[in-house]
Amino acid sequence: MRNIYTLAQDGTAYNTDITKSVVIKGVGTDLKNNPSLLKRANKKVITNALVMALVDVAKECDDKDWIKKYWNTYHCQNKFISYKDKVYTDLCKNRWCSTCNGIRKAELLNKYYSELIKWEEPHLLTLTLRTVKANQLAPRIDEMVRAFTRIKDRCNKRNRRGKGMKIKGIKSLECNFNATSRWYNPHYHIITPNRQTALYIKQEWKKEWNKNGEYNAAEKGQDVSKIRNVEKGLIEVIKYGAKMLSDPDPNKKRRRTRGDLNGLSIYAKGLHVIYKAFEHRQLFKSFGFKLKDMEIENSTTAQSVGDYELWKYRIDKMDWVNESTGEYLTDYELDVKLEYLLQNSIDTSLY
Ligand SMILES: [Zn+2]
């Protein structure tokens, strides 16, 4: 257990004269007894370790803009302002930030759940292609986006002529990286309202990619399965891009229970290549329908408040410390297995 005494020994000078006011925005997060803050502390440790590795890779690749972007995430939620039992912070909103990613996923889940629950028999369709090397990833994704648009247009045209069904669904673009063979596997996960729609899109996908003597989409690379639990199905689809922790070879991944980190690694170069290829792209999209209530979120106005407390992140403590009282925000303790992984399993090699 950490206590204030430990911090006092570190000789930190506290700011006891907070007289200025500060601007807060949004609804804030509960300050007391809030497990989500503990999760944030854990995610910050993982994200910081990842972005440090990504900075190294970006330097090696001479991607100057990206060094800045990654540092930006390193400073994500460095300060919390607490005011009347709520805490407020600034978010970096980047895909490689575990917290910001989590918030984005929760928003998407809330937004689409009420629509999906109305669908008769939701199915999950996975569309893949032949894998590519790093330098072919961005052009491949461009081709995938164009191919899907062509499929949609074709099906809509047919449907208007009274042939073929109307297609709708939600799709997300994701990419796996295989560190063993160093290939990238960009693919779509699509939730469709029923099995027929999934089979129809699958057929069109194969047609689109296996023409003019080319063969890019094998039958065994495509998958259709019934979704038994809509919430779980949605969570599965909204991974938002790329997995930070991965098996060295996604084809030989082991079955894992929650919290099992054995054999997992963070492949910084692979992730950097994927984040670059994903830049300026909307990864999660619906097609064939629009949500009725497109309310604007986070419209809460900003307010200027005095009498607040400031909590600053201390990297050595892996926690936020109250500037005036020396209290810790979360009392977070790093799990030994995670500590081992972050120290030993971050691969920054460039290959
Ligand atoms: Zn962030």
Q: State the pTM of this model.
A: 0.88
Task: Give yes or no: residues 34 and 9 share one domain.
Answer: yes
How many Å lie between the centroid of ligand 1 and the Cα of residue 313? 14
Rounded Cα gap, residues 240 and 133, in angstroms: 21
What's the rounded Cα separation, in Å, for the pair 246 and 204? 31
Q: 346-347 and 266-267 as β-strands: parallel, antiparallel, unpaired?
A: parallel
Shared-domain flag, residues 121 and 233: yes
Q: Ligand 1 center to residue 148 CA distance, Å?
A: 31
Give the DSSP H/E element, type plus range, for residue 109: helix 98-116
- Token pair, residue 309, equals 């407390």
CA separation for the pair 217, 128 (Å, rounded): 7
Ligand 1 midpoint to CA 78 (Å): 10
- Per-residue confidence (pLDDT) for residue 7, from 0 to 100: 32
Same domain, 159 and 254: yes
47, 97 Cβ separation under 8 angstroms? yes
Alpha helices in 210-321 (DSSP H): 230-237, 268-278
Note whether 59 and 348 are within 8 A (CB). Answer: no
CA distance 188 to 280: 17
Contact 156, 150 (CB under 8 A): no
| Ligand 1 mean position, distance from CA 75 (Å) | 8
Q: Which residues surround ligand 1, an ion (CB under 5 A)?
A: 76, 91-92, 97, 100
Using the mean position of ligand 1's atoms as its centre, give its distance from the Cα of residue 161 in Å: 47
Residue 126: name the closest of 47, 218, 29 by CA. Answer: 218
Residues 66 and 137 in one domain: no
The sign of the dihedral angle between the CA atoms of 105, 109, 110, 115 is positive
How remote is the CA of residue 251 from the centroid of ligand 1, in Å? 30
Pair 11, 110 in one domain: no
Which residues, other chains included, contact 164 with Cβ-Cβ below 8 Å and sequence gap of 6+? 155, 158, 200
Together in a domain, 80 and 110 = no
Distance CA(79)–CA(313), nearest Å, equals: 6
Ligand 1 centroid to Cα of residue 138, in Å, is 24
240 & 326 share domain: no
Q: How many CB atoms neighbour CB 84 within 10 A? A: 10
CA of 102 to the centre of ligand 1 (A): 9
d(CA 184, CA 136): 9
278 within domain boundaries = yes
Q: What would the pLDDT profile of 127-141 be if each residue is shown by its tens digit?
A: 999 999 999 999 999
CA of 199 to the centre of ligand 1 (A): 38
Centre of ligand 1 to C-alpha 283, Å, is: 18
pLDDT in tens, the chain (351 residues): 333 333 333 333 344 445 578 888 888 889 888 888 999 999 999 999 999 999 999 999 999 999 999 999 999 999 999 999 999 999 999 999 999 999 999 999 999 999 999 999 999 999 999 999 999 999 999 999 999 999 999 999 999 999 999 999 999 999 999 988 999 999 999 999 999 999 999 999 999 999 988 899 999 999 999 999 999 999 888 876 778 777 888 777 777 777 777 888 889 999 999 999 999 999 999 999 988 765 555 556 788 888 899 999 999 999 999 999 999 999 999 999 999 999 988 998 876
130 Cα: distance to centroid of ligand 1 (angstroms): 33
Domain end point (choices 237, 262, 287): 287
Give the domain-ending residue among 235, 252, 287.
287
Our count of domains for the chain comes to 2
Q: Does residue 51 sit in helix, strand or coil?
A: helix
- Does residue 234 come out as left (phi exceeding 0), alpha (psi in the -120 to 50 range) or beta? alpha
Rounded to the nearest angstrom, the distance between the alpha carbon of 347 and the centre of ligand 1 is 22
**For residue 201, is it within any domain?**
yes
Same domain, 13 and 57: yes
How far apart are the C-alpha atoms of 349 and 248, rounded to whole Å?
14
Say how many Å lie between the CA of residue 51 and the centre of ligand 1: 11
Q: How far apart are CA 314 and CA 325, in angstroms?
A: 15
Helices (H) and strands (E) in the chain, counts: 9, 14
Is 294 domain-assigned?
no
Indicate whether 177 and 312 sit together in one domain: no
Q: How far is the CA of 44 from the centre of ligand 1 (A)?
A: 9
Among 265, 287, 309, the domain boundary falls at: 287
* Domain membership flag for residue 292: no
Instruction: Indicate whether 62 and 166 sit together in one domain.
Output: no
Euclidean distance between CA atoms 79 and 86, whole angstroms = 13
Residue 109 lies inside a defined structural domain of this protein: yes
The residue with tokens 């990864």 is: 283
Distance from Cα 68 to the centre of ligand 1, integer Å = 14
Task: Give me the pLDDT at residue 26, please.
Answer: 84
Residue 343 lies in a domain: yes
Cα end-to-end distance, the chain, whole Å: 42
In a domain, 267, yes or no: yes
Same domain, 245 and 150: yes
At 219, give phi and psi (nearest 5°): -55, -40
Give the span between the Cα atoms of 348 and 54, in whole angstroms: 8
Classify residue 144: in a domain, yes or no. yes
The two three-digit tokens of residue 117, written as one number: 């629950």
Q: Measured in angstroms, how far is the CA atom of residue 99 from the centroid of ligand 1? A: 6
Task: Report the C-alpha gap between 319 and 200 in whole angstroms.
Answer: 51
Chain centroid, CA 294 distance in Å:
22
CA distances from 77 to 16, 33, 41, 101, 279 (A): 22, 19, 10, 13, 22
Same domain, 202 and 279: yes
How many A from CA of 90 to the centre of ligand 1? 8
Q: Residue 42: which domain range? A: 4-97+300-347
